A and B are shown apart, each in its own frame.
Chain A
C-alpha cells in the first residue's frame, strides 16, 4: 500500500527507505529459482533448455544446484520423476569445445552433493523429507544412476526399523512408508536384481502391520461397541493400502509401476550402460529426537508428549470409477502424493488448492478426466479416467477425519476445501454435496463419534462460507428416528454450530417447517439468550438477587458485596424458607447476578470477572465469610452449576465461562470434569434431551476443555523451567569464562553449581502442583466414564443403556434402540476417544490410574467392565 506521496514522504521516512531496499538476486539465486520452477509450463519441453542453462552457468556452484534439487524434491513431491529426468540428462556428456578435456560428469557431482543433504534430513529424523528423497533415489535407480544393491540396502535399513525393540507406531509407520514407496518406484529394477530381498521387505512390512490389529481396531472409523476386536470391512488403513498396492505390483514383477508413475527419464536414450553408477553409502536410521527435555514426573518417567502413534484410516467417499482405490498402485501413488502436497502447502491454502487442481499434469496422461469444457485432446486410460475434484476432495476429507486427531488443525483442512470450492465451484460443489450425503449415511453405520463431530464442524463452517445453503428437506424423514440417533444428534449439532457462527433467525429461516417445529428438537424457537433464574419478580429470591445486582451495577467494591452476601444469608436463614442449602443459594444468586452484568458480550463477562475476582475467589473458597483454604469442591461445583444454569440456552457461553473460570483460577480443571459427569446434561435448550446423563459432544467439549487446560499448564510450566535452566547455564558459563580469564583456569565449579536460582525453585514447585492437577483431571475423567458405563449400584450417574448395547447382537437390534441405548452408544464413543486421544498423557500415569480405577473389577464378570479395560489396555500400549 504505497499511497503516500509528497508532503508525507518525510514523515513516513522509514517506510520510504524500506521500500527502496530491494532484495538483490544473485545469478546463483536466479538459477536456483529456475530449477525450482522447472516444468511450470511443460517439463519435457523445458528440460533441454534448463539442462543447458545449468551447464552454461559460470562459475557453476554444485552445492547451489544440488540445494535447488533438494528443495524441489522435498517441497514439490509431484515433480520428483521430472527432477530425476533432469538429473539423468545432466549425466550426458557435454559438447566439448575445442581444447577442453572431459570434465567429471556433472549429474554425478550433483547427486553426490544431494546425498549429503539427504544425510542431513536423516540425522534430523525429518521423515517427510527423508521419504521424498528416497522416492527420488528410487527413480534414479530406474534411470540407471544408482546401483540396485545400494538402493536395496537403503530400503532395508528402513525396514529394519520395524524390528527395533519397542518401536513406536509413528516411527515404524513412517519407516515402512519410506521403504514401501521406494519399492513401488524402484521395484522394476530391484526385483530383477534380487527378488528375495524384495519379497522379504514386503513380508516384513506385512508382519508389522499384522501386529497392530488392536491399535487398528481402536482407531478404525466405524468400529463397533464390542469386546471382539474386528476391523470393519472395506476400511483403508494406510499401511494395508501400501501392502495391497505392493503385492499387486510384485505379482507382476513391477511391470505395473510404469502404469502408475511417470518415468520420463526412460524416454529416448534407452539403456545406456556406460553411466557412472553411484553406490549410495549405507545408513542407519537414527533414533527419534527428543524434542523437549522432559522433567521427571512422579512416575519417574520422562513426561514428554508425542503424538501420532496410531494406524491411519481414511474415509472413502466415492466408488472406484470416480476416484481411484487407494489399495491399487495407481490409487496409492495418487493419494500419497496429494497428501504430501496438502501437508507441505499448509502454509498457503490458496496456492495449495491451485496446485492440487493442477496435479494431473504431473501424472500420466489419461489418468483424470479433463476439465469440463476443455478442448485438449484426451485419451482416457481404461479403468482410470477419474474425476480430479472428487479425488482431491476425498483425500482432504480423508486426512481431516483421521483418528484420534488429524495431523494439522481441523480448520486448515476446512479452509483448504473452501478454497477448492471457490476455485472451481461447478465441479467441487457437487463433490462436496456427495461427500456430505455419504458421511451422513455412514452416521447410522457406527461412524465414530469423533468423526461425526468433525463432520459437523466442517459442515457448519462450510455452510457459513457458502450462504448456509443446504437441502435440509432431504433429511426430514429422519426426524422419525430416536431423538438420540446419531443422525438426529448430528442435525442438532450442526444447527447449533451454524447458529454460533451466524445467529438464530438466520439459521431458523434456512430450515424446512418440519424442522422448525419445536417438537422436532432440531432448533430452539428462541435465540440462545441468558436465563437469569431470579429475573421473575414472583421468584421468592427475586428481591435478594436484585439487591446484589444493584451492588454490581453500582460497581460496589468486592468487600462490600461479600459483606452484603453475609447479611443476605442471615436474612434468608431468618426467613425460614426451608431452603436446603443456603450457601448454595447465596452462591447461585451472586454468580448469576455477576454473569447477568457480564451477559452482553465476552468483554463484559471478563470485565465483571476481573472486577470481582476477590469475590469469586471468596465464593470458591467455601463458606461465604470463611477465610482461607484452597477452595471448596462443593462451592466450586455451585459456581459451575450457577453459570451453566444462567447460560443453559447457550452452550457456547457455558464453554467460554468455564474456560475463563479456570483461566482466572476460580475453579480447577478437575472441578469442571467432576461437574460435567454429574451435571452436563442439564445444559441445552431442547428439553427432551435432558437426563439421564448423555455424554454427548457438548459434554465432551467441556471435558476436553478441562483436560487441555490442565495439560497446557504443564506444558507452560515445563517451558518456563527449560528457559530458566538455560538462563542459569548461560549465566554459569559466563561466570566461569570470566573467572577463567582472571584466575587463569583455576575454577571451582562445584561451589557455583549448587547455587539454586530461586525463580527456578518456584517454577519447579509450580510444575509439581500442576502435574498433580493434570493427573487428578485425567483420573477423574477415567473414573467418570467408568461410573457411567459400568456403574456399580449407587453410582451417581449411570448410563442406563450402557451394558445392553455391547456386542454384535445388540448392534443388529439397533432399530429398536431408544434414547438410552443411543446415549450409551455415544458415551462409549467418547470413552474410546478419551483413551486414544489422551493416550500420551495417560501412559505417564498408567499404573496408578489402573490401580485406582480398574482394581474393583478384579474377578467381576461384566462385559462393560471388560470393554472399558480392553480399550484402556490397547490405548496405553499394554495389549
Chain B
C-alpha cells in the first residue's frame, strides 16, 4: 500500500496563481475536494462523453454522483479549449477518478486529472493571451484535437467542429453563468408556492466565494496541462 508504492490519488504540485490561499490551506482544501481539473482534452470532446467516463467513479449509493461538468472555454471565441472541471458530490469519487481515470484515454487522448480547489466564477475561461489555455500558446507540435487543424480533415470531424462552435455561443460571464447541479435533498414541505425565481446556487459556492476571493485582473499562469 502506501508504504510500498505511491498512491495515484495525490494532488499534483500545481498551485492556482489566482487562488489566494497558502500551501497548507490549499492542501487542507484539496484533502476534502470534490472537484477535478481535467486536462489534455480534445477541443471536440463533449460534456456527455466526459460525463460517461467520470460516472464510472460515482458512488450514488453513498450519496454521491456527478454534480456538474464545467467545460473550459476560450475566453474570446467561447469554444471549448481543452480542459474542464468535473464536480462530484463526494471526495471519494474525486479520488477514484485520480486513481482509475487519470492517464487513460477519452476520445482517443490521454487525459489527466488533478484535484482542484473548486470552481470559481471565471475559471471556466482559458487564461492564455489569445483566449485559450496557456499551454496552447507555446505549443509547437501539430495537434489535430486541439486546433492544429488541416484542410485534409475528414468530413465528420468538420461536422463535429461546427457543432462545437455553435454549442457554447451563448456562454455567459459573471455570477450564475454556471449551474450548480442540484444540492442535497431538502424537505420541501407542503407549500410549493416558490416565488423566488433567482437561480439557486449551491451553498458551497457561496461559502467559498466569501472565503477565497479571486482576483479579477488577468494573471498569466494557468500552466497546468
Residues of chain A touching chain B, judged by Cβ–Cβ distance below 8 Å, are 1, 12, 14-15, 18, 36, 71, 75-76, 344-352, 409-412, 414-415, 418, 457, 461, 464-465, 467, 500-503, 505-506, 557-559, 600-603, 606-607, 609-611, 613-614, 617-618, 621, 627-630, 652-653, 656, 659-660, 663-665, 705, 708-709, 711-713, 715-717, 719, 762, 765-766, 769-770
A765 touches B187 (CB 8 A): yes
A614 touches B197 (CB 8 A): yes
The residue on B at minimum CB distance from A838 is: B61
Inter-chain contacts of A618 with B (CB < 8 A) = 192
- Check if B185 sits within 8 Å of A770, measured CB to CB: yes
Known contacts A348-B8, A351-B6, A465-B104; 4 additional CB pairs below 8 A are: A415-B100, A601-B47, A602-B68, A614-B196
A348 to B3, alpha carbons, bound, how many Å? 12
A410 to chain B, nearest CB (A): 7
Tell me what chain B mostly uses at the interface: helix, strand, loop, or mixed: loop
B200 to chain A, nearest CB (A): 6
Residue positions of B touching A, CB distance < 8 A = 1-9, 12-15, 22-23, 46-49, 51-53, 56-57, 59-65, 68-71, 96, 99-101, 103-108, 156, 159-160, 166-168, 178-182, 184-188, 190-197, 199-200, 223
Residues of chain A within 8 A of B56, CB atoms compared: 409-411, 414, 457, 461
Q: Give Cα A628 to B190, complex, Å.
A: 6
User: Which one of A464, A611, A665, A717 lies within 8 Å of B188 (CB-CB)?
Assistant: A665
Report whether A503 and B160 are in contact in the complex, using a CB–CB cutoff of 8 Å. Answer: yes
Chain B hits for A349, CB < 8 A: 8, 99-100
- 28 contacting pairs across A/B (C-beta < 8 A): A1-B14, A75-B4, A345-B1, A347-B99, A348-B8, A350-B8, A409-B57, A414-B100, A415-B100, A464-B108, A501-B53, A502-B49, A502-B107, A502-B108, A557-B197, A600-B166, A602-B47, A603-B71, A607-B178, A614-B194, A621-B192, A629-B192, A660-B182, A712-B60, A713-B63, A713-B185, A715-B63, A766-B186
Which residues of chain A come closer than 8 Å to B200, judged between CB atoms? Answer: 610, 613
Q: B182 to chain A: which residues have CB within 8 Å?
A: 606, 609, 660, 663-664
Q: A347 to chain B: which residues have CB within 8 Å?
A: 1-2, 5, 7-9, 99
Return chain B residues, CB-CB under 8 Å to A614.
194-197
CB–CB A603/B47 < 8 A: yes
- Asked if B194 and A602 make an inter-chain contact with CB atoms under 8 angstroms apart, the answer reads no
Q: Are A500 and B1 neighbours in the complex by a CB distance under 8 Å? A: no
Known A409-B96, A411-B100, A501-B52; judge A613-B5 contact (CB<8 A): no
- Complex contacts, A611 vs chain B, CB 8 Å: 197, 199
* B contact residues around A410 at 8 Å (CB): 56
With a cutoff of 8 Å between Cβ atoms, the chain A residues found around residue B46 in the complex are 503, 601
The answer to whether B47 and A18 have CB atoms under 8 Å apart is no
Contacts of A717 in B (CB 8 A): 185
Q: Is B61 a contact of A715 with CB atoms below 8 Å?
A: yes
Smallest CB separation, B93 vs chain A (Å): 10
- In the complex, what distance in Å separates the CA atom of A75 from the CA atom of B62? 27
Contact B180 A653 (CB under 8 A): no
Q: Which 9 pairs from chain A and chain B are nearest by CB?
A: A606-B179, A663-B182, A708-B60, A716-B63, A347-B7, A411-B56, A505-B156, A351-B5, A712-B63
Which one of B4, B71, B105, B180 has the greatest number of beta carbons of chain A within 10 Å?
B4
Tell me whether B23 and A412 are in contact (CB under 8 A): no
Q: Do A712 and B8 touch (CB < 8 A)?
A: no
Chain B residues with CB under 8 Å of A18's CB are 23
